[in-house]
Amino acid sequence: QVQVVESGGGLVQAGGSLRLSCIVSGLTFDDYAMGWFRQAPGKEREGVSYISPNGGISGYAAFVKGRFTISRDNAKNTLYLEMNSLKPEDTASYYCAADRGTNYYMLSARTYTYWGQGTQVTVSS
């Protein structure tokens, strides 16, 4: 059974930083591209960042580029998202997801197969 568990969310002031982690079990982690998504109340889920199975390719949504960094440790089956210069508009539930296909770079939620339950990030002004 595949399990995807996010952690590291919390309350932070604008300009602050957080590091999210996502531990995956029940699949061969380095066979899967990984992505981070987020969803704010009343809004659709949106893609934040992706990383290829071996970590060599990554990409970001324009609204986080230069502030967030995605990484993975395949030996630990863990995905990370380092978030700096946080803004109130970054407030959302953040989700980790796994995709074994080749369209992961499109950051479309429909292509990702396995999802975590999310971790809440709240940025105060």
User: Residue 101: its pLDDT value, please?
Assistant: 87
pLDDT at site 105: 86
**pLDDT score of 53:** 97
Say what percent of the chain tops pLDDT 90: 92
The pLDDT value recorded for residue 104 is 86
Gap between the Cα atoms of 87 and 35, Å rounded: 21
With a cut of 90, say whether residue 3 has pLDDT above it.
Answer: yes
Q: What is the pLDDT of residue 112?
A: 96
Q: Which residues of 79-110 are buried (b: 16+ CB within 10 A; e: fewer)?
A: bbbebeebeeebbbbbbbbbbeeeebbebebe
Q: Which residue has the higher pLDDT, 61 or 107?
A: 61
Provide the pLDDT for residue 102: 86
Determine the pLDDT at residue 59. Answer: 96
The mean pLDDT value for 76-88 works out to 98
Assess whether pLDDT exceeds 90 at residue 91.
yes
Contact 24, 4 (CB under 8 A): yes
> What does the pLDDT look like over 27-69, one tens digit per residue?
999 999 999 999 999 999 999 999 999 999 999 999 999 999 9
Average pLDDT, the chain: 96
Question: CA 116 → CA 1, 39, 56, 88, 112, distances in Å?
Answer: 13, 13, 23, 23, 11
